[in-house]
Amino acid sequence: MAAAAIVKALPGAFSKVRSTMTTLVRDPQVQTGLRELAPPTPSELPSAIASIVKTVESIQTKRFLNVTVGQAARNALVSAEVVCWFFVGEIIGRRSLVGYKVSSK
């Protein structure tokens, strides 16, 4: 009886998800986020290359050491977030919190 109720509710749930996703994709903030995650277009390549060159020059001249405490704290938080998301991805990929499942032959 419960299975019949679930099957009966599925079309309504799918239409609700479809309408929500349509609204979400049309949201300007989502569109901006999708554009930011896209790789650079051919017209953006010169500015991307200039940014890479500027970063390399900053490392060579050690200009990156001249940052304020606020910038250093922000950089540390962003780095910690990246590391945490890496570990979350590893856990999801392993499908286990600790270690990999190794089969013994």
Residue 59: pLDDT above 70? yes
Q: Is the pLDDT of residue 1 over 70?
A: no
Place of tokens 């019949």: 4
DSSP state at residue 42: G
- Assess contact for 63 and 56: CB atoms under 8 A: no
pLDDT for residue 87:
92
Is 80 exceeded by the pLDDT of residue 25? no
CA angle 63-67-71, nearest 5°? 135
The predicted structure's pLDDT at residue 33: 66
